[in-house]
Amino acid sequence: MLSSILAGKPSSIGFLGNEGVTQALEAVQNPAACQKLSDKTAHDELCFSDLARDVAPYNVTINNLLPGQFETDRLVSNHERFALASGQTVEEFQSKSKRGIPAGSFGQPQEFGAYAAFLCGASAGFVTGQNLLLDGGQYPGIM
């Protein structure tokens, strides 16, 4: 697969979470080179950034989208279950969840799609090897 991508046409590869990164690395890189690291997170991050740098000269960008709480059917069903278990209404539970997000709301699937589409387009050709948070400011650290 990678050889066809590297044939010369600009391309983008996107992953959701570290599991996707790990699976891609196993397919296109020598896994033994990265398995020497004992810490799984360090392993994923190092190999992910190495792969992004290796393919960048071929106009291939690889980025990792890290979504926060997006208003999907899964989020709603989880909130229904958690609200029931905690004796709250769904609205109360969701309101409390939104207070933990600096943006004050859940992300919309269309927002995620637009961001992913942008990263796959020519306008984002200089963005590669990045972990990109889409969480309304919820993560308190620096990536």
20 and 86 belong to one structural domain: no
64 and 115 belong to one structural domain: yes
What is the rounded average pLDDT for all residues in the chain?
78
- Enumerate the β-bridge partners of residue 21: none
Token pair belonging to 51: 């792969």
Confidence of residue 105 (pLDDT cuts 50, 70, 90): very high
The answer to the question of residue 56 being in a domain is yes
Provide Rg for the chain, Cα atoms: 18
State residue 48's pLDDT score: 75
Instruction: Tell me which residue range forms the domain holding 84.
Output: 69-106
When divided into structural domains, the chain yields a total of 2
85 and 58 belong to one structural domain: no
19 and 41 belong to one structural domain: yes
100 and 124 belong to one structural domain: no
124 and 62 belong to one structural domain: yes
Whether residue 66 contacts residue 133, with contact meaning beta carbons closer than 8 Å, is answered with yes
Closest listed residue to residue 72, CA positions, set 113, 100, 101: 113
Confidence of residue 25 (pLDDT cuts 50, 70, 90): very low
Per-residue pLDDT tens digits for 6-18: 555 555 555 444 4
What is the spatial distance between Cα 19 and Cα 65, in angstroms, rounded to a whole number?
12
Per-residue pLDDT tens digits for 44-99: 555 778 888 989 998 889 998 999 999 999 999 999 999 999 999 999 999 999 99
63 and 102 belong to one structural domain: no
The answer to the question of residue 139 being in a domain is no
Give the position of tokens 């637009």.
114
The answer to the question of residue 90 being in a domain is yes
The answer to the question of residue 9 being in a domain is no
